[in-house]
């Protein structure tokens, strides 16, 4: 395992975006009637989190120097 163990700006940003996506999607499913537009927005945020991490890692935000 890496020494930084995910404690980098790239990892925290990706996890934050994914958590917001799950929150938006969960709230959309609890609405009556179910709000499918916001559900898919939440899904999109969750999916975008991984490519966002990869871009930030390529930019150097996945190192111990930040």
In a domain, 26, yes or no: yes
66 and 8 in contact (C-beta within 8 Å)? yes
Q: Does residue 45 have a cis peptide bond before it, meaning omega lies within 30 degrees of 0?
A: no
48 and 18 in contact (C-beta within 8 Å)? no
8 and 61 in contact (C-beta within 8 Å)? yes
Full residue range of the structural domain in which residue 23 is found: 9-58
Q: Which residue would you say has higher pLDDT here, 7 or 6? A: 7
8 and 36 in contact (C-beta within 8 Å)? no
In a domain, 66, yes or no: no
Structural domain count of the chain? 1
CA distance 37 to 20: 15
**Mean pLDDT, residues 13-31:** 97
Question: In this model, does residue 17 exceed pLDDT 90?
Answer: yes
pTM: 0.85
**Mean pLDDT, residues 41-57:** 97
């Amino acid at each position: 395992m890496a020494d930084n163990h995910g404690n980098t700006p790239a990892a925290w940003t990706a996890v934050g975006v994914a958590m917001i996506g799950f929150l938006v999607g969960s709230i959309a499913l609890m609405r009556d009637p179910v709000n499918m537009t916001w559900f898919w927005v939440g899904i999109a945020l969750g999916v975008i989190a991984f490519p966002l991490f990869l871009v930030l890692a390529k930019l150097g935000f996945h190192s111990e120097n930040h």
